[in-house]
Amino acid sequence: MSDNKTYSCLLFDMDGTIADTSEGIYNGLRYMALKIGIPALPEDVMHTFLGPPLTGSLMKAYGMTEDEAVVAVKIYREYYSKTGVMECNPYPGFCETVRKLRDAGVRIFVATSKPTPFAEKIVEKFGITDCFEAVIGSNLDNTRSKKVEVINYILDTYNLDKSECLMIGDKSNDIDGAKQAGIDSLAVTYGFGSIEELEGAGPSYMVSTPEEILSYAGV
């Protein structure tokens, strides 16, 4: 059990926290580039797409307008919705960790910028749907895509006490979203974000394995 404060409600990011989803996202971006007729991005640039809302990442990487990025996202999803969403794996130890949290009576949510239907498919593939009280992501029309919007939706919809909630993620946008929503945050270093990025974001806590998360719920 941790000497730090413990929480009765945990909110988990998806990409880079629950699962390594990079293969499907990279393949979706390559498909989109080919269909539009634009250069495919190098992998180090595609890596920056892992976590934040896709529209903004496309605008930054390609210099697209918002309207152009919305069209590009639709093309990306032609691939991702059918094939890419299944090209992922849970991080070692994560499924066991989340089952222990569920069995201990901890309230657990997915809070992701990934569209809700895609996040639901991933937790179903991993056999951990029943561990989560709800899987909440962005809408397919690109609304509710900012992390703070997702967190606030969960807090409001499920009438949660902010002091009992901990946002768990691997990127600075997870930590920033938690701060904007007024809840504590736990950064995981096994995902897509660098330690430098995470330290710069200033999380409440930091861990290097899924198993370490248990102590923050008193498990």
| Residue among 192, 204, 190 at smallest CA distance from 15 | 192
Give the helix, strand, coil percentages of the chain, each rounded to 5: 50, 15, 30
In the set 13, 15, 20, 184, the catalytic residue is 13
**For residues 14 and 114, is the Cβ–Cβ distance under 8 A?**
yes
**For residues 183 and 167, is the Cβ–Cβ distance under 8 A?**
yes
36, 50, 86, 118, 164 from 25: Cα distances, Å = 16, 8, 10, 12, 33
Q: Which value, in Å, is the radius of gyration of the alpha carbons in the chain?
A: 17
| Residue among 90, 91, 111 at smallest CA distance from 9 | 111
Q: Output phi, psi for 142, to 5 deg.
A: 75, 5
13 is catalytic: yes
The β-bridge partners of 110 are 12, 135
Reduced to 3 states (helix: H, G, I; strand: E, B; else coil), residue 19 is strand
Q: List residues with catalytic annotation.
A: 13
